[in-house]
């Protein structure tokens, strides 16, 4: 009897449809959330504040700006608080007052000068009033561009990733109004570009934040495709694992082969102008465990965001396309999950790339450069870009060298480095140039293959990685490499980047593409 049952169970085991073939299945068994993030405050522009609104006053010095239209009793209560607290109203200063006057809350923010400081003032206002359950009126700006920049900062600063929070009451989402005589012109500026740019940054942050049991190469493609649906001028090409094998892309296929999720290459072209495109290629490792070269446990969870480069190029393309920018770009996501397992690639393996070059795998954890190698060669072969910028969470060394204030910039040509630095200054996403010295290329010389992916000879890691990537970009294509390992994630709130995924690169690449098109 017992034996018979056992035999039955065993026979069933081989055929039951729900018996997992491999320990990690391609889809999660129980979906952890069926919701989107909670709505944020919609951004509006108005001539006068809504009744009952909390106030954010943009200050330039300690005196309330003229013509903000506060009731006299409120104005004098706020002035008394300014004096009592010694508030100076310089850039970065912030004073939150609650239970004062007849408004739910007042925050005074030093607005400083120039677009970046105005954005940050907007972001500070958003974060100070995050939990105030009332509409918000932002006062004190008379110039249309200033209003639009503050609104842009507000949008970036109020981002949240809360779709996995099951709390009963969602956070406040009453509207925020930017109040001033120039409201119509500010709205025009907002609608033309900044609304799209901030929505694109939010998409990038969503993709970065999403856990890797929900976001793998296939679901990255599905979600990104949905974001581009119906946007004019956009065409999408996706190569799945079988297609990548057929085309001989052994490097990206090799990275994915330890995972039940196959690799993908996703190419989104936005053609808003004639001429050769600018190619933006992003590293898209949806989880980097290190593969058989397994990473240590502390911080491994953050490697769910090792696809931040891919998310950034898709965000930039979305912003350009939705705002109908007169540019031609192709954004490329090189997607794979880097997992250990009996089918994973081994140190010592040799793989062959799309272009026929061989790579000796010395570290399964130097996988970003591998997926980029195939992605770059395919992009150049099929799309013939005049220039290519790759962006990747490539090396811990870049983060060790530069900390969290700069992405590492590598370029062969000074003129290219200059373009990137210019876009960085305009967008507020900072870069610092690092050396591509020929001596550091020795790090990738292999004894048995054309090139190897890692070494232990003491060459600086970020430069060695850059050399490896540059090896696949012919000299006649202008090229820049951005290593964002130090900036893709924020450990605490910043005015434009709440704690968590930063969306780094979307603003920088959006700005770059608008000013750098085929000659
Ligand atoms: N994704 C990591 C780099 C990384 C580390 C990004 C920390 C963000 C935060 C990358 O794939 C990696 O593992 N790089 C190795 C390269 C080495 C094996 C040559 C590294 O930095 O140690
Ligand atoms: Mn790695
Ligand atoms: Zn990685």
Give the domain ranges of the chain: 43-181, 197-515
Spans in the chain with pLDDT lower than 50: 1-23
Check residue 27 and give its pLDDT.
Answer: 61
Rounded to two decimals, what is the model's pTM? 0.94
Check residue 68 and give its pLDDT.
Answer: 87
Identify which ligand lies nearest to the alpha carbon of 336: 3
* Whole-number Å distance between alpha carbons of 32 and 76: 51
Cα of 466 from ligand 2 centre, angstroms: 14
Q: Where are the alpha helices (DSSP H) in 129-270?
A: 144-157, 183-189, 195-209, 217-228, 241-246, 250-256
Cβ proximity of 304 and 210 under 8 Å: yes
Which pairing describes strands 478-483 and 407-411: parallel, antiparallel, or unpaired? antiparallel
Check residue 296 and give its pLDDT.
Answer: 97
Cα of 396 from ligand 1 centre, angstroms: 5
Check residue 26 and give its pLDDT.
Answer: 62
What architecture is the 197-515 domain classified under in CATH? Answer: 3-Layer(aba) Sandwich (3.40)
* Whole-number Å distance between alpha carbons of 302 and 405: 18
pLDDT in tens, 127-186: 999 999 999 999 999 999 999 999 999 999 999 999 999 977 899 999 999 999 999 999
Check residue 494 and give its pLDDT.
Answer: 98
Q: What is the three-state SS of 449-503?
A: CCEECCCCCCCCHHHHHHHHHHCCCCCCCEEEEEECCCCCEECCCECCECCEECC
Ligand 1 atom nearest to 295, measured from its CA: 13
Q: Please choose from 334, 372, 395, 402 the residue to mutate so as to test ligand 1's pocket, defined by most ligand atoms within 8 A of CB.
A: 395
Alpha carbon nearest to ligand 1 atom 22, residue = 396
Copy the structure tokens of residue 340: 């250990």
Q: Which residues line ligand 1 (CB under 6 A)?
A: 288, 306, 363, 365-368, 393, 395-397, 399, 454, 461, 485
Q: Please choose from 362, 364, 394 the residue to mutate so as to test ligand 1's pocket, defined by most ligand atoms within 8 A of CB.
A: 394
* Whole-number Å distance between alpha carbons of 163 and 14: 38
Cα of 248 from ligand 3 centre, angstroms: 22
Identify which ligand lies nearest to the alpha carbon of 398: 1
Helix axes 195-209, 308-322, angle to 10 degrees: 160
CATH class of 43-181: alpha beta
Cβ proximity of 160 and 40 under 8 Å: yes
3-class DSSP state of 167: coil
Active site residues: 295, 369
Query: In the Cβ-directed half-sphere of 244, how many Cα atoms lie within 13 Å?
Result: 29
């Amino acid at each position: 009897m017992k034996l018979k049952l056992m035999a039955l169970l065993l026979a069933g085991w081989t055929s039951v449809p729900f018996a997992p073939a491999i320990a990690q299945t391609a889809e999660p068994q129980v979906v952890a959330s069926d919701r989107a993030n909670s709505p944020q405050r919609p951004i509006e522009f108005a001539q006068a504040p809504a009744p009952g609104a909390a106030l954010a006053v943009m200050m330039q010095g300690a005196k309330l700006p003229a013509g903000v239209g506060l009731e006299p009793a409120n104005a004098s209560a706020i002035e008394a608080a300014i004096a009592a607290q010694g508030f100076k109203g310089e850039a970065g200063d912030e004073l939150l007052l609650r239970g004062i006057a007849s408004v739910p809350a007042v925050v005074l923010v030093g607005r400083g000068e120039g677009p970046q400081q105005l954005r940050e003032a907007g972001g500070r206002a958003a974060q100070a009033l995050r939990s105030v359950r009332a509409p918000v009126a932002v006062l004190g700006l008379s110039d249309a561009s200033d209003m639009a920049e503050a609104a842009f900062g507000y949008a970036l600063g109020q981002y949240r990733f809360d779709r996995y929070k099951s709390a009963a009451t969602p956070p406040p989402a009453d509207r925020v109004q930017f109040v001033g005589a120039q409201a119509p012109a500010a709205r025009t500026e907002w609608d033309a570009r900044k609304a799209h740019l901030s929505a694109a940054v939010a998409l990038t942050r969503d993709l970065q934040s999403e856990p890797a049991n929900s976001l793998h190469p296939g679901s990255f493609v599905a979600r990104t495709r949905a974001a581009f649906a119906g946007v004019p001028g956009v065409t999408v090409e996706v190569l799945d694992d079988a297609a990548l094998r057929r085309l001989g892309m052994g490097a990206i296929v090799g990275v994915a082969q330890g995972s039940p999720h196959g690799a993908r290459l996703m190419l989104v072209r936005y053609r808003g102008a004639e001429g050769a495109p600018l190619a933006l290629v992003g590293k898209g490792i949806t989880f980097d465990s290190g593969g058989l070269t397994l990473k240590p446990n502390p911080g491994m969870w953050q490697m769910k965001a090792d696809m931040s480069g891919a998310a950034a190029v898709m965000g930039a393309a979305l912003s350009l396309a939705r705002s109908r920018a007169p540019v031609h770009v192709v954004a490329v996501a090189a997607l794979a999950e880097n997992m250990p397992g009996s089918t994973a690639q081994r140190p010592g393996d040799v793989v062959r790339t799309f272009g026929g070059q061989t790579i000796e795998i010395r570290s399964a954890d130097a996988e970003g450069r591998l997926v980029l190698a195939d992605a770059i060669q395919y992009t150049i072969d099929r799309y013939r870009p005049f220039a290519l910028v790759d962006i990747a969470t490539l090396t811990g060394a870049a983060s060790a060298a530069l900390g969290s204030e700069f992405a590492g910039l590598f370029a062969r040509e000074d003129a290219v480095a200059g373009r990137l630095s210019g876009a960085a200054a305009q967008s507020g996403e900072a870069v610092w140039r690092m050396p591509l010295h020929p001596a550091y290329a020795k790090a990738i010389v292999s004894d048995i293959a054309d090139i190897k992916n890692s070494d232990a000879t003491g060459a600086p890691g970020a430069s060695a990685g850059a050399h490896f990537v540059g090896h696949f970009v012919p000299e006649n294509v202008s090229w820049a490499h951005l290593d964002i390992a130090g900036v893709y994630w924020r450990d605490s709130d910043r005015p434009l980047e709440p704690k968590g995924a930063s969306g780094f690169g979307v603003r920088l690449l959006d700005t770059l593409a608008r000013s750098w098109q085929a000659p």
